[in-house]
A and B are shown apart, each in its own frame.
Chain A
Amino acid sequence: MSARRTQAVVVPGGPLLLRGADVVLDEDGEQHEVGRPVVALCACGLSQRKPWCDGTHKLAQGPES
């Protein structure tokens, strides 16, 4: 098996998709283990569970009561 390739994908208006990472350091330098093959990192700053995306960016874009 070839070595895992790390890839970051910018989603327009959405999160940063990170594929093949082992650990993410947040803005405070805290380490977050990556438990899945692809993770979505918050790019809008609104997530309630940073560094991960929790879909909140959609509330800033669309209707929610």
Chain B
Amino acid sequence: MRLPRPRGDLSAQLIDALASGTPETPALAAGGIGDPSTDDVQLALWILYEQHYRGFEDVDPSLEWSPDLLRLRRTLETPFEAWICDLTATTVKEATEEGDDVVAQLEHLTRDQSGALARHLHREATAEQYRDFLVQRSIYHLKESDPHAWALPRLDGPAKVALAELQYDEYGDGVSARLHSRLFADALEGAGLDPSYGAYVDRASAPTLVANNAMSLFGLHRRLRGAAMGHLAAFEMTSSLPCRRYVQGAERLGLDERVVRYFDEHVEADAVHEQLAARAICGSMVEAEPDLHDDVLLGAAACLVLEGLAGDRLLEEWR
């Protein structure tokens, strides 16, 4: 993947700095960034995080650990994390009113499975809209499960075992053709889209970048491992039923069987994963480290609220 196109002054400066290999540009983010959820800030943050995944072919890989870029990342992350906390405060509070059991709280938070986006894709979407949906989802699904994998070395005991078991399935059960990210690439190809990693970053909406950056924020900070696992649980717990609708929508539109296969795999897989993520991962983790309880709820609420905003953006565009 090559560097994306800029979306404002900050991302333009960052892209120039990365391309030229001179990250010590003093003007970067000087004087605060304002709203952390804008296209410009979110793209800059996404680029900085991507250095820790596959990176960019036109960027010197040693810049992953450039102190100037890490400082910039921190400058963007701090207000972004505060913004997420504000946005999810009501949802988190609602969960805490459901008793003390983290599994019951997660079940309460994810009880509404009615998702307007899934309903639309099931019954009404055009093939073009379905492809728009795949394009937005490609930002995550081409690195499916990678943001949660950062938590593995930061957990121990039953929670670690359960996360490894869940991820073994995400990562293909020993068969590279079954890697979930590979199944998604196949689905993109089947839909006539570009399956290459990062192909659609320029088309990713700000809410899509927000949802992805939140996963990286939680994953890359050991401090936030509870939020990373709460996010994973909420993601898995709200997947099976929508995936069934995505399957039916793809069948209704006569889309390629590779599109159907991707979502079909997730109906069954995520019915397993949601149990592992809620009980075996989050339940065990909170038992071992009770201080992480609130962060699990933060991560779960962030997943639900931010994925909801990304879906709403698509529905707005189609209106």
Q: How far, in whole Å, are A52 and B240 apart by their CA atoms in the complex?
A: 12
B267 engages A55 (CB within 8 Å): yes
B62 contacts chain A at the CB level, 8 A cutoff: no
Within the complex, the shortest CB–CB distance from A52 to chain B, in Å, comes to 5
A62 engages B113 (CB within 8 Å): yes
B112 contacts chain A at the CB level, 8 A cutoff: yes
Chain B residues near A15: list those with CB within 8 A.
271, 275
Chain A residues near B168: list those with CB within 8 A.
37
Within the complex, the shortest CB–CB distance from B39 to chain A, in Å, comes to 32
B271 engages A63 (CB within 8 Å): no
B244 engages A35 (CB within 8 Å): no
A64 engages B114 (CB within 8 Å): yes
Q: How far, in whole Å, are A64 and B267 apart by their CA atoms in the complex?
A: 17
Within the complex, the shortest CB–CB distance from B236 to chain A, in Å, comes to 10
B114 engages A17 (CB within 8 Å): no
Residues of chain B from 263 to 287 with CB closer than 8 A to chain A in the complex: 267-272, 274-276, 279
Q: Interface centre among B112, B270, B271, B274, by most A CB within 10 Å?
A: B271
Chain A residues near B113: list those with CB within 8 A.
55, 58-59, 62-64
Q: How far, in whole Å, are A65 and B123 apart by their CA atoms in the complex?
A: 14
Q: How far, in whole Å, are A37 and B168 apart by their CA atoms in the complex?
A: 8
B111 engages A38 (CB within 8 Å): no
A55 engages B274 (CB within 8 Å): yes
Chain B residues near A4: list those with CB within 8 A.
none
B272 engages A38 (CB within 8 Å): yes
B173 contacts chain A at the CB level, 8 A cutoff: yes
Chain A residues near B111: list those with CB within 8 A.
58, 61-63
Residues of chain A from 12 to 36 with CB closer than 8 A to chain B in the complex: 14-15, 17, 35-36
Q: How far, in whole Å, are A59 and B244 apart by their CA atoms in the complex?
A: 13
B112 engages A53 (CB within 8 Å): no
Chain A residues near B272: list those with CB within 8 A.
17, 36, 38-40, 53
Q: How far, in whole Å, are A29 and B272 apart by their CA atoms in the complex?
A: 23
A11 contacts chain B at the CB level, 8 A cutoff: yes
Q: How far, in whole Å, are A49 and B274 apart by their CA atoms in the complex?
A: 17
Q: How many residues of A contact B (CB 8 A)?
A: 24
Which of B114, B169, B271 makes the CB contact (< 8 A) with A53?
B271
B267 engages A38 (CB within 8 Å): no
Residues of chain B from 96 to 119 with CB closer than 8 A to chain A in the complex: 111-114
A54 engages B271 (CB within 8 Å): yes
B275 engages A14 (CB within 8 Å): yes
Chain A residues near B3: list those with CB within 8 A.
none
Within the complex, the shortest CB–CB distance from B164 to chain A, in Å, comes to 10
B58 contacts chain A at the CB level, 8 A cutoff: no
Chain A residues near B124: list those with CB within 8 A.
none
Chain A residues near B271: list those with CB within 8 A.
15, 40, 52-55
Q: How far, in whole Å, are A55 and B181 apart by their CA atoms in the complex?
A: 22
B269 engages A36 (CB within 8 Å): yes
Chain B residues near A56: list those with CB within 8 A.
241
What residues make up the interface of B, taking CB atoms closer than 8 Å to A?
Answer: 111-114, 165, 168-169, 173, 240-241, 244, 267-272, 274-276, 279
Q: What are 11 pairs between A and B in contact, CB < 8 Å?
A: A11-B279, A36-B169, A39-B268, A49-B267, A55-B113, A55-B244, A55-B271, A55-B274, A56-B241, A59-B113, A64-B112
Known: A36-B269, A38-B272, A61-B111. 14 other contacts (CB 8 A): A17-B272, A36-B169, A54-B244, A54-B267, A54-B271, A55-B244, A55-B267, A58-B241, A62-B111, A62-B112, A63-B112, A63-B113, A63-B114, A64-B113
